[in-house]
Structure 1
Amino acid sequence: MTKYLISFPSSAMVVSDAELPAVSDAAHAVVREAKDAGVWVFGGGIDESIPPVMVDADGRVTEGTYPETMKIEGGYTVLELPAPEDAAHWAARIAAACRCPQEVRAFMYDPES
């Protein structure tokens, strides 16, 4: 089976403060369904209040990140599924819950993961 990354940037989810509890409930319902279906691997949102750091091979930590990844933020879900159509199905459910389109990407196969 293939692992799929289903994600969206923070700016895509435009909901009012009043809508947030309903969005949260709907998203958590999809999470529970994915767990019950045995396809859940991981999910969460990037904490944008904590800046990224770079860690070198010697363990040295410096503030910042690669220029190409300055805008990594938002919500991420990883599911393990048999086919791209299944990923599209779950992405549609997440899109409905979060009220914004979802991007789907497949991870390359790695026998160790």
Structure 2
Amino acid sequence: MTRYLISFDDGAMDHIPDGDWPDVGKAAHAVTQEAVDAGVFVFGAGLERQQSSVVTTDGLVTDGPFPETKEVIGGFVVVDVASRAEALAWAAKIAVACRCAQEVRELMADPETDEMLRRAGR
């Protein structure tokens, strides 16, 4: 199985009228439950709109995002599926539920980290 990040940009849902948010939430939770039931859901969340901080390799903390940043993630789901086609199918369901386009990116596998998590019982 391969993990994929399915995400949307901050502001991608700004077009949704206030009165529609309960329906969007219900649809998003239904897709999440479907992914959980299918055994492919790893984790997902929306990101709070707040100023981000960047910690550099020397420990310096700076505020961001920076002017050259055109887009930041507004929310995401990680799925663990057999193929890119399956990840795209989940992204299509999420796009309908959230009423916005979704970006799909394959996450690099890291067997050592997977082994660490297995030994930790996760």
Superposition TM-score tier, normalisation by shorter sequence: 0.7 to 0.9
1:85 Cα deviation after fit: 1.0
- Does residue 62 of the first structure (1) align with residue 62 of the second (2)? yes
What's the counterpart of residue 36 of structure 1? Answer: 37
Give me the CA root mean square deviation. Answer: 1.9
Q: Distance in 2 between matches of 1:107 and 1:68?
A: 24
CA distance in 1, matches of 2:103, 2:8: 6
Map 1:1-113 onto structure 2 (within 5 A).
1-13=1-13, 14-48=15-49, 50-65=50-65, 69=69, 71-111=71-111, 112-113=113-114
Per-residue CA shift, 1:48-88, capped at 9, x if unaligned?
Answer: 1x211122345443322566546313111110111011101
Q: Mark the runs of 5 or more structure 2 residues left unpaired by the alignment.
A: 115-122
Secondary structure of the residue aligned to 1:11 is coil
Alignment partner of 1:76: what SS?
A: strand
3-state secondary structure, aligned to 2:11: helix
Corresponding residue number in structure 1 for 2:118: none
Identity score, percent: 50
Q: Number of residue pairs matched?
A: 112
Quickly say closer, same or farther: Cα 1:24–1:2, change in 2 above 3 A.
same
SS in structure 1 of the partner of residue 19 of structure 2: coil
Q: Relative to 1, partners in 2 of residues 1:30 and 1:11: Cα closer, same or farther, differing over 3 Å?
A: same
Unaligned runs of 5+ in 1: none
